[in-house]
């Protein structure tokens, strides 16, 4: 397992790297994973997890792309066999050996346009069809069996085989290149890029998704599978360099100041919940200082009632709850939006969704 890093490691990034601990929800990656982390491209985000689907199920899933790519190869070979003589006659005609495809300029005036148009259209359609097959369709089986940039599925299955427990490594697509700093807060104490980043990770690592789908079908518009990294991870497990449990849902992102970091989604959820609890307590204390603590409990009742309805707490429900809360506070001579902003320091919308 000695693949080279996919992207160059810049000295300026290393010079700016901090020695202190990263902010929540990030932490340093475990040392045992360093051999595979060193092969990762710093421009991408990586998700590693263990695929526990039965080996027999994985074998059935893998048969589908194998048959599909075989069908493409057969289709391509049939097309070559069928059309090659036609292209050969065109080439021979261009070289000066007249044949049925030769069109003489001197005789063009004698050709009826109704006869010329079908010839031109047929040749143009043939060229377009074969160009499309060569450019868009043929690369699929080539990449499937011989891809080198990030490995290929055939090489992965030849090395790993089919196991009940396999390490799956996903690599982000182009969207991660424009992420920006997802670690540090901005001047206003927030980080929109981090919120977007963590939300996308939460979607990709949803327990239902990981539990219901085998690794091969997790490729989509946001994530691709890194076949080479999956082979490296399997090699590490086979050579006892790391236990397979070390790959249990590891999310890796590179940041200039800290280097490679693990995004702890569980820690992010807990931090968000702690922040919400602090806001609620600050709001309660501010109302208590005005002698209106009863408003706090009536506010809780409205939010809990509306959020527990069968149709969920969507935008319409939130708007309804917002109207009730503002009316309730207005009757007591309190502007809810202004009071929430002054006592908690955030937009009043978070007070509606509490």
Say whether pLDDT at 22 is over 80. yes
pLDDT tens figures, 116-166: 778 888 889 999 999 999 999 899 999 999 988 888 999 999 999 999 999
DSSP result, 88-127: HHHHHHHTT---TT---GGGGGGS-HHHHHHHHHHHHHHH
Residue-wise pLDDT tens digits, 88-105: 888 888 787 877 767 665
The pLDDT assigned to 4 comes to 55
Please give the pLDDT value at position 15. 35
Kindly state the average pLDDT of the residues 182-187. Answer: 73
Query: What pTM did the predictor assign?
Result: 0.68
Q: What is the pLDDT of residues 309-353, one digit of tens each?
A: 777 666 777 788 888 888 988 888 888 888 888 887 666 555 555
- Predicted pLDDT at 265: 80
In contact, 202 and 265? CB cutoff 8 Å: yes
Over residues 218-232, the pLDDT tens digits come to: 999 999 999 999 999
Q: What is the pLDDT of residues 234-263, one digit of tens each?
A: 999 999 999 999 999 999 999 988 999 999
| pLDDT band per the 50, 70, 90 thresholds, residue 8 | very low
* Beta strands per DSSP E along the chain: 26-27, 46-51, 166-172, 223-225, 250-255, 259-263
Model pLDDT for residues 27-85, shown as the tens digit of each residue? 999 999 999 999 999 999 999 999 999 999 999 999 999 999 999 999 999 999 999 99
Peptide bond into 28 cis (omega under 30): no
pLDDT of residue 10: 42
């Amino acid at each position: 397992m000695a693949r080279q890093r996919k992207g160059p490691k810049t000295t300026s990034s290393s010079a700016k790297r901090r020695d202190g601990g990263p902010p929540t929800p990030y932490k340093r990656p475990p040392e045992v994973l360093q051999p595979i982390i060193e092969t990762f491209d710093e421009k991408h985000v990586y998700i590693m997890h263990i695929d526990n689907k039965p080996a027999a199920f994985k074998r059935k899933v893998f048969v589908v792309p194998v048959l599909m790519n075989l069908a493409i190869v057969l289709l391509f070979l049939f097309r070559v066999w069928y059309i090659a003589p036609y292209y050969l006659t065109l080439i021979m005609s261009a070289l000066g050996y007249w044949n049925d495809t030769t069109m003489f300029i001197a005789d063009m005036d004698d050709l009826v346009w109704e006869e010329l148009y079908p010839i031109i259209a047929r040749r143009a359609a043939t060229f377009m069809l074969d160009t499309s097959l060569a450019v868009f369709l043929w690369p699929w089986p080539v990449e499937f069996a011989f891809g080198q940039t990030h490995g290929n599925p055939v090489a992965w299955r030849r090395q790993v085989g089919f196991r009940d427990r396999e390490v799956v490594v996903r690599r982000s697509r182009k969207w991660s290149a424009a992420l920006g700093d997802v670690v540090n807060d901005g001047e206003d104490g927030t980080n929109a890029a981090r919120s977007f980043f963590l939300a996308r990770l939460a979607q990709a690592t949803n327990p239902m998704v990981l539990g219901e789908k085998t690794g091969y079908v997790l490729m989509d518009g946001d994530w691709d599978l890194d076949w080479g990294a999956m082979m490296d991870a399997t090699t590490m497990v086979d050579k006892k360099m790391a236990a397979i449990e070390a790959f249990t849902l590891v999310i890796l992102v590179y940041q200039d100041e800290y280097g490679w970091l693990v995004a702890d989604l569980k820690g992010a959820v807990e931090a968000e919940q702690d922040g919400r609890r602090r806001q609620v307590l600050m709001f309660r204390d501010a109302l208590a200082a005005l002698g209106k603590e009863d408003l706090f409990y009536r506010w809780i009742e409205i939010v809990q009632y509306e959020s527990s309805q069968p149709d969920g707490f969507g935008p319409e429900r939130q708007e309804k709850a917002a109207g009730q809360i503002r009316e309730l506070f207005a009757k007591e001579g309190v502007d809810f939006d202004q009071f929430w902003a002054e006592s908690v320091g955030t937009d009043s919308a978070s007070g509606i969704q509490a």
